[in-house]
Structure 1
């Protein structure tokens, strides 16, 4: 099956992609990373879109970065799917785990575009998913937090077994942050040829979110 991967740069879309590619008959045509109208940042995680391109390069997968505001998101997303259908793409891969409303939206959009929506992680225990992600050798860093849920000490943390133990101690916080408690950026793992090299910079606050700036090492 030939598919595109809906891409944020974080752990869930990475694990979904990884599982999909374990079937040797599957191929990924490209990553689709929706970007803000400022043309600089990925919509979901606030990451500079150049870092998404670096991920794609390490995986040797093409990345497409359509630009959209919130109101025009569905129209732009559908337009991109229509282009990919001309390249014989049959399905989209999504990293959703249990948010039913978002899954329903994806399924409707994909149905209207006559492609299959795939959810490799759907309905699974989020602690188990995080253990799998860590165990497979992926490396990821927290690049955004909801500051009404987590304090700034969580920004920049690497997701590992210690992180999992600590996050489990917090009431009302999902280990995989399915409710948006945090967002992550994958910088190494079994799909990468080499790890991405970076340093962390300033913290930027926007509403109830804090974002960590990543800088390329010289």
Structure 2
């Protein structure tokens, strides 16, 4: 007797706009038992940019179209207290549960405190967290991403850990060779953040141009901009 088909697990993916989120999407899509039904991102409401990554909302929405998924933007006030953040996220999670989704995925790699925070945040909500990249060897993971065609640019870096000249740099072999000793190859300890542009999880590349870099709140943010109206293409490697 033929067994009844089992519906895939519907998953909402935390989307920072960076390479790790993009690779988490790729991993999840390789599992036939999982259906990624959307992305969610927290934004600084005052500046309309992705928290920490500094990516413009316009690029974020274009990027979601490029990977073929609906995007849920969570606007956070600036400044934002822990209490306000908790309230906003609780309301969002309640809406996710009401929609019938029971799993959220995150692209975390090895930071135990970050994972524990997410698990605490979701405890008792009806949502179970998934960590498809957890425990990855980040040096190996970076090479795996590049070999598969994932392309990204640095949107934010910590100048106390990386040379400011790497702002806007392509995530490539040259970048890995330029990283100072002790810097994680995937930037998992906050050394740098990226905007993903292309890869096996994209339906089409995200076309951008690299703008100016500015120092703000001890971090260097490189303004990544939509491609020029005359039809600019994805930036070539640095």
- Among residues 52, 56, 59, which one is paired with 1:51 in the alignment? 59
Structure 2 residue aligned with 1:194: 204
Return the alpha-carbon distance in structure 2 between the equivalents of residues 52 and 116 of structure 1. Answer: 25
**1:57-96 equivalent positions in 2, closer than 5 A:** 57-68=65-76, 69-71=80-82, 72-96=84-108
Quote the residue 1:208 is aligned against.
218
Using the size of structure 2 for normalisation, the TM-score is 0.87
For 1:144-159, what aligned pairs fall within 5 Å after superposition? 144-159=156-171
Per the alignment, residue 126 of structure 1 pairs with 138
Cα distance between partner residues in 1 of 2:58 and 2:221: 16
The SS at the match of 1:175 is coil
Deviations 1:26-81 (A, max 9, x none): 11121110011315111131111111111110111000111112522222122112
The one of 39, 57, 69 equivalent to 1:31 is 39
Where do 4+ consecutive residues of structure 1 move more than 4 Å?
Answer: none
Does structure 1 retain, via aligned residues, the 8 Å contact 2:168–2:222? yes
* RMSD of aligned alpha carbons: 1.3
2:56, 2:225 within 8 Å by CA — same for their partners in 1?
A: no
- Please say which structure displays the higher CA radius of gyration: 2
2:148 is equivalent to residue 140 of structure 1: no
Q: For 1:90 and 1:98, how far apart are their aligned partners in 2?
A: 23
Structure-1 separation of matches of 2:225 and 2:169: 16
Alignment partner, residue 122 of structure 2: 110
> In the alignment, is residue 184 of structure 1 matched against residue 183 of structure 2?
no
SS at match of 2:75: coil
Q: Which residue of 2 aligns with 1:164?
A: 176
Contact 1:39–1:67 (8 Å) recurs in 2: no
Unaligned runs of 5+ in 2: 1-8, 230-238
Q: Structure 2 vs 1, CA of residues 44 and 113 (structure 1 numbering), >3 Å: closer, same or farther?
A: farther
Query: Over residues 69-98 of structure 1, what are the superposed CA-to-partner deviations in whole Å (9 max), with x where a residue is unaligned?
Result: 252222212211211112211111101111
